[in-house]
Amino acid sequence: MTDSRSERPSIVPVILAAGQGKRMRSSVPKVLQPLAEAPLLDHVLKAAEALGAAEPVVVIGHGGERVEAHLDGRAVRIAHQAQQLGTGHAVAQALPQIEDDAIVLVLYGDVPLIGSQTLRELAAQASDGALAWLTVHVDDPTGLGRILRDDGGSVVGIVEERDATPAQRGLREVNTGILAMRCAMLKRWVAALDCDNAQGEYYLTDCLAMAVAENVPVRVHRCEDPREVLGINDRRQLAEAERTLNRMRADGLLAQGVTLRDPARLDIRGNVEAGRDVEIDVGVVFKGRVTLGEGCYVGPYSVLSDCAVAAGARVEAHSVVEGAEIGEGCTVGPFARLRPGARLSEGARVGNFVEVKNASVGLGSKVNHLSYIGDATLGAGVNIGAGTITCNYDGANKHHTLIGDRAFIGSNTALVAPVEVGEDATVGAGSVLTRAAPPGELTLARARQTTIQGWQRPVKRKE
Ligand code: UD1
Ligand code: CA
């Protein structure tokens, strides 16, 4: 399989995902465990995709039906490994689906933080037929395969911890498991593996010594950032990986010119695009796709999902924003809730304990305190008094409220939808509006205040 745009061979990722992940103590297969709200496997698929690689082959086994169902409709091929006989055996199951001249890139469903730049560099090292192997230097190599070098410093093999001598166990250069190699050679090597080792498994790692024996050039590529090759076996490591991922994403924002009051206290579970001079306070959680315009501010402990915040807007502390659009220079919160379909035009203000759903708030309009605005259209320059409610639901259907430009709605008004308030209309506080309030007029829909002259309070009867 050759890439039609260039003469370079295509890169085909093989993603091992057949292991059970016992230590997770979960009924969910390990590679489907969520990391920052996406399954581990999806992170690996994303890295492969960013590389511009060909359709990957995912090797499934334990919990295979669930993994396969998860991958349904996606551009991936599946290989089944009925019994987990080792990493070499797992790779062998995938190779028949891959053309001989392609470069196979072996990845792991439980190593989710691998960066596409690292993979690009690794694959490039295999383009001339060499075996490119990703290693990493760690302080604690426990459980990992050690890289063996001869006296001249050339790599000669990999030894698994359980097969290693005490001296070999002291080595800090370890195998990440990730490698790139022409498919034809790899096919031959994995077919020749034996399971004559401490675990009785077919070790993929033995291919390295085979390459050396055949004088195939071996290029060891050192992964500079050990965080990228963190493997996940239990929930402690899963939590650690999430913190690491958040930190990597926070670093990305810092590099783009975003101010983070504390990069360690920020959760990015989706994708954040931010302009210059954005400031993000502590404890903020981002989900889905969020865009933050130049100079905007997100206050402490706010949760923003799938929303757009335009330049200069402020989302104050403890606000929850989902599926909303916040216009330039708007102020939201503290303690505001914008639900899907909330659209605030430039300069609008939505204050504390205000909920807005499927409603647009026009240019410079204010809903400052304790209100519910649902299924409504508010014009420009509207002022909504504290405690105003759009009664949008009659128990069966939702109805719309329309409020014209510059209308003033007195506090504690109930707008029983469908209902319309005209431009420049004023509605007296405490009104329950069930019919249209005409433009320019004062409408009151409440009991009139009366005073009973000379009224006396009752006095207590004498016994
Ligand atoms: C493997 C490497 C080790 C390396 C370490 C890095 C081998 C022999 N050892 O060890 O050198 O330092 O990874 O984390 O390769 N898998 C399958 N089918 C199998 C066996 C494994 O799909 O039959 C998958 C597992 O789901 C897992 C991955 O391959 O995602 C690694 O397997 P695991 O058994 O955890 O290998 P390690 O012993 O950690
Ligand atoms: Ca492992």
* pLDDT number for residue 7: 64
Distance 87 CA to ligand 1 centre (A): 5
pLDDT tens, position by position, 106-156:
999 999 999 999 999 999 999 999 999 999 999 999 999 999 999 999 999
Segment (H or E) for 190: helix 183-191
87: pLDDT strictly greater than 90: yes
SS3 label, residue 93 = helix
Among protein residues, the one whose CA lies closest to atom 26 of ligand 1:
19
Best residue among 20, 22, 83, 87 to mutate for probing ligand 1, ranked by most atoms within 8 Å of CB: 87
Tokens standing for residue 383: 């002022």
| Chain centroid offset of residue 112 CA | 13
Residues 246/247/250/251 CA torsion (nearest 10 deg): -150
Q: How does residue 9 score in pLDDT terms, banded at 50, 70 and 90? A: confident
pLDDT tens, position by position, 373-422:
999 999 999 999 999 999 999 999 999 999 999 999 999 999 999 999 99
Please report how the helices 40-50 and 64-71 are oriented relative to each other, as an axis angle in degrees rounded to 10: 50
Residues 199/204/205/210 CA torsion (nearest 10 deg): 120
425, 436 contact by CB (below 8 A): no
- Domains, the chain, in order of start with CATH, read 11-229 (3.90.550.10), 235-443 (2.160.10.10)
Among protein residues, the one whose CA lies closest to atom 5 of ligand 1:
144
Judged by its nearest atom, the ligand closest to the C-alpha of residue 135 is: 1
What's the mean per-residue pLDDT of the chain? 96
* pLDDT number for residue 3: 47
Does 117 contact ligand 1 (Cβ within 6 A)? no
Among protein residues, the one whose CA lies closest to atom 37 of ligand 1:
144
Of ligand 1's listed atoms, the one at least distance from the Cα of 86 is 23
pLDDT tens, position by position, 161-187:
999 999 999 999 999 999 999 999 999
- pTM of the full structure: 0.92
Distance 64 CA to ligand 1 centre (A): 17
